[in-house]
A and B are shown apart, each in its own frame.
Chain A
Amino acid sequence: MIRSLSTPWTLAVKVPAAMAAAVVVIAAATTALVYQFVSTAQDRQLASVTRSYLDGLAPALVEPVLRGDIWGVFEILDQPRSFSTTAIPVELAVADTSGEVIAASDPRKAPSGAPLPARFRNGAGGGSLVRDDSGEVLSTTLIVIGGRSVGSLHVLWDITPMTQERRMLIQTAALWTILVPALVGLAGWFATRRMMRPVQILSRHMETADDGSVQPIGGAVVRAASREFARLYRSFNTMAGALEARRALTARLVAEERLSSLGRIAAGVAHEINNPLGGLFATLHMLKTDPASPTVQQKAVALLERGLGGIRDVVRALLAIHRPERNMRPIAAADFDDLRILIGPQIGSIRLTWSIGPLNGVDIAGGPVRQMVLNLLLNALAAAGENGDVGLTVAAAPDKVVITVTNSGSAMSGEIAAFLEGRGTADVPGDGLGVWLVRQIAAELRARVTIRTGTEGTSITVIIPRPISGAT
């Protein structure tokens, strides 16, 4: 019950989780790709921005640098620098060929005439781009006229807008990578639960089939369901109806079989009673012809006693089969004696081997065992045929009772053997209702049935586990 219920629930989690995981993977992959792309694009843009900025400034600087014109250089450097959204030139310096500052955009930090500060020197070399740990980028270029370098331009860039853009990108992507799969997962959970509901209903109804009868799905549920599931429900209900009809049929057949075996037993009983009755009438006749003879009297009493005793035994056996309170009584050797009496009329010329071990303290209900063994014996007798052999062995072990019924004759069909052993289909092979009863009772007793069959005959062993002592 728990397992079958948990399956749709697990699916309701598994499916959305798988969806969410897929979205996470896709989102992460996309983000990585986009980040890579944006980074490359930004780096390229930065290089181009710094390059074009330097290339724009350098020619204008030639003249003032040549003249050593501090103001001329400063005025070029001291311009509004909202040059690009990618990077902002924060500090500029122009040095002469000896590395002394001519002028810088912030003269207090890089005074004219002082050596070029170290932060401007890292990237010295035509137009190189050096990024340091602080997120500042240095770009430099030589100021050249007629192939001769007259000085150098050094620009420190603030690339915060660029890094911020990257960070924003990552943050946004991360947010979406969390949010979207969460939403997908939640939506998936709801959708799957909704989708699984009809299956749950179906599963619940299927579970009732364990008891042998299947409860059909209510009309309201069928009407409310989607077209596919309504069709499935209707199919299920048809199947449930068929199962129910079959169950009813089987029950009727079992009752009929009982009646039939009762008839057979009744015939046997009539036969058993008829035999002593013949003796009794003969005795009666004997007494009528010579009532005074003491020898006749003695003989008559003995004959009467034996004949009536026989009738009493037959009646007692009959009672034993059909008195319910006796059915629950623990099995005893007497039960098997009763069976012997009951099958008596069927024995004829068949050689019967009968071995009943002591059964004291075996706490197994006698009724079902008797019924089962009676059926096995009747089948065995029928299978053995004229002059055949039939044997019954009952032996009790501490944990089980082993009952073996053997018979000579042709082999049992594999289908029936499989059915008896509890393998294969639930269909009763052929018309063997006795076989069906044996299987039912064996199942009730949780007994294991093993069959060995061949051309020499068949041996059916039923092992009934004994209740664990102390449990009852």
Chain B
Amino acid sequence: MGGILPAGCLSRTPWWAMTPWSTGLSRRRVLLAAAGAAAGGLFLRQTAWAVETEVPLRFGIPQILISPMLDEFGCIDRYLRLPWRRPVSLTQHKTNAELAADLLSGELDLAWLSPYAYVRRREQLQAIAAPLTKGAATAQSLLIVAADRPASMLSDLAGDTHAFVDPESASGFLVTVAELAKIGTRPGSFFNRTFFTNADRNVVRAVAAGLAGSGTCDGHVFEVLKEIEPRLTGAVRVLSTSSPIAPPPIVAKRGGLSAAAMAAAKSLFVGMRTTATGEAALGKLRLDGFAEADDALYAPITAMAERLKGIV
């Protein structure tokens, strides 16, 4: 099975952490995989949902997953396509809000959404799987500043131009808002100005270039960036790391997929590490695998969002 993997799948760079290839990238840009799949695998026969159809499975990903490489997408696409035996269309969206809107309107079947965006729409959305990092389904938020800046804590950043990822991002926005709330302030008054870059990597770029004095971004993305773009991360330093929070789940619209399809999708993600194609895709993402997502995992984020209602 590994023999049909495109060569790009074996490169070290995770496909979602690649340099954006064009700022004019259409959010609706659909990257279709190459046609002609090999004969069906085990899941094909086991799942009732695996009907022979040409209707593609539409999987939405946030801009965090931007890749300039078609074959990088191919890794996930191939993994998803093989068992389902149906084409997969991967679309990347600029913001979590857009992603969620498309999911709710039925434009997408599945989406990889920020936990904060998910908990805000818990009634309509259902988490299927959550990524595992270092064996645990956790994420962290980082506060970063320029490498040569003599700041030691959040309060030193007052009056800054601050870069966030997305207004519906947990690790790239909500955590810092929560920290500010603890000291009785809010971004609009604590910082001189704030802006959203729509991607964690862009926050690092903004701080490294000096466009922002400080920024909030995801810890996992930063770790990978350190590995693949040491020059970029070398220009910044981590001021503080948050307590673990829930990672971004794979979500579907409640009632959007049949119970069987939902179960199939869940087992597909959870069982990803058990196949060579899945293993390759996980390698790209620097993830250990996916675990079943339950509401308990997202309860702390829900609570945090509740607390901050009125601020954000």
Q: Which A residues have a C-beta under 8 Å from some C-beta of B?
A: 60, 69-71, 74-76, 78-79, 103, 106-108, 111-113
Neighbouring B residues of A107 by C-beta, 8 Å: 209-212
Are B210 and A70 interface neighbours, CB within 8 A?
Answer: no
Are A71 and B163 interface neighbours, CB within 8 A?
Answer: yes
- Complex CA gap A322/B23 in Å reads 126
Indicate if B205 sits at the interface (CB-CB under 8 A): yes
Are B24 and A60 interface neighbours, CB within 8 A?
Answer: yes
Closest to A113 in B: B193
Known A-B contacts A70-B211, A74-B211, A106-B210; the reply to A113 vs B23 at CB < 8 A is no
- Complex CA gap A70/B193 in Å reads 10
- Pick the most buried of B196, B205, B211: most chain A CB atoms within 10 A of its CB: B211
Neighbouring B residues of A106 by C-beta, 8 Å: 209-210
Are B192 and A113 interface neighbours, CB within 8 A?
Answer: yes
Neighbouring A residues of B23 by C-beta, 8 Å: 60, 75-76, 79
Indicate if B195 sits at the interface (CB-CB under 8 A): yes
Distance (whole angstroms) from the CB of B209 to the closest CB of chain A: 6
Indicate if B197 sits at the interface (CB-CB under 8 A): yes
Indicate if B161 sits at the interface (CB-CB under 8 A): yes
Known A-B contacts A79-B23, A107-B211, A113-B161; the reply to A74 vs B206 at CB < 8 A is yes
Task: Select A70's contact among B195, B198, B205, beta carbons within 8 Å.
Answer: B195
Task: Select A71's contact among B24, B192, B197, B210, beta carbons within 8 Å.
Answer: B197
- Complex CA gap A113/B197 in Å reads 17
Leading 9 A-B pairs by shortest Cβ distance: A108-B210, A107-B211, A107-B210, A70-B195, A71-B197, A75-B23, A71-B195, A74-B211, A107-B209
Known A-B contacts A60-B24, A103-B211, A107-B209; the reply to A71 vs B161 at CB < 8 A is no
- Complex CA gap A108/B206 in Å reads 11
Q: List 7 A-B contacts (CB under 8 A).
A: A60-B23, A69-B195, A70-B195, A71-B163, A74-B209, A111-B161, A113-B161
- Count of residues in B whose CB is under 8 Å from the partner chain: 17
9 additional contacts (CB under 8 A) given A78-B209, A107-B209, A107-B210: A60-B24, A70-B193, A74-B206, A75-B23, A78-B205, A106-B210, A107-B211, A111-B210, A112-B211
Indicate if B202 sits at the interface (CB-CB under 8 A): yes
- Complex CA gap A113/B192 in Å reads 10
Distance (whole angstroms) from the CB of A282 to the closest CB of chain B: 152
Known A-B contacts A78-B205, A107-B210; the reply to A112 vs B163 at CB < 8 A is no
- Complex CA gap A103/B212 in Å reads 10
Are A71 and B193 interface neighbours, CB within 8 A?
Answer: no
Q: 1/0 per residue B18-59: CB within 8 Å of A? A: 000001100000000000000000000000000000000000
Neighbouring B residues of A113 by C-beta, 8 Å: 161, 192-193
Distance (whole angstroms) from the CB of B146 to the closest CB of chain A: 9
Closest to B164 in A: A71
Distance (whole angstroms) from the CB of A319 to the closest CB of chain B: 126
Closest to B198 in A: A71
- Pick the most buried of A71, A75, A107, A112: most chain B CB atoms within 10 A of its CB: A71
Are A112 and B161 interface neighbours, CB within 8 A?
Answer: yes
Task: Select A112's contact among B193, B196, B202, B205, beta carbons within 8 Å.
Answer: B193
- Complex CA gap A106/B211 in Å reads 8
Closest to A75 in B: B23
Neighbouring B residues of A75 by C-beta, 8 Å: 23, 197, 202
Distance (whole angstroms) from the CB of B35 to the closest CB of chain A: 33
Known A-B contacts A76-B23, A113-B161; the reply to A71 vs B196 at CB < 8 A is yes
